[in-house]
Amino acid sequence: MNDLWVLDPIFRVKLRFLMQVAGVLEIAYGLMCLNLSAAKQEKALLLLAWLGTSLAAYRYGLWLMDWKHPCNCMGYLTKALHLSAEAADDIAMIILACLLVGSYACLYWLWKTGRKCTDPT
């Protein structure tokens, strides 16, 4: 049976639908970031931190529920790279950790220095 037809334990919808919604939101976020002027880059950074925090909260909820299935969020890329589902899940967790640490570190640096992204120095 295809893993995408399994019900998500948190949202109680099929994983296929959840992945489609997440993909559309990520594309919309990416397009929004490409169209932002330099003056609004702080907002993009805040949204990136929010996205990372939301993903981490979701993964934490799965961990609390003792959900043992690896994330199939990389689709056929894992087969093309000859990666196991567990290795792909570990890679996704590392990417999420980098996303969280990087976005919050940048936000902290901007807050600590009192700078805006548009400051020349």
Domain-embedded: residue 29? yes
Domain-embedded: residue 121? no
Per-residue pLDDT tens, the chain, 121 aa: give them.
456 677 888 888 888 888 888 889 888 888 877 777 666 778 888 888 998 999 899 989 988 998 877 666 666 677 778 888 788 888 889 999 999 999 999 889 888 888 665 544 4
| Number of domains forming the structure of the chain | 1
pLDDT at 104: 93
Query: Contact 103/45 with Cβ under 8 angstroms?
Result: yes
Domain-embedded: residue 20? yes
Domain-embedded: residue 118? no
Domain-embedded: residue 120? no
Domain interval for residue 49? 3-113
Domain-embedded: residue 61? yes
Contacts of 85 (CB under 8 A, 6+ apart): 70, 72, 78
Contacts of 65 (CB under 8 A, 6+ apart): 9, 10
Domain-embedded: residue 119? no
pLDDT at 1: 43
Q: pTM here? A: 0.75
Domain-embedded: residue 69? yes
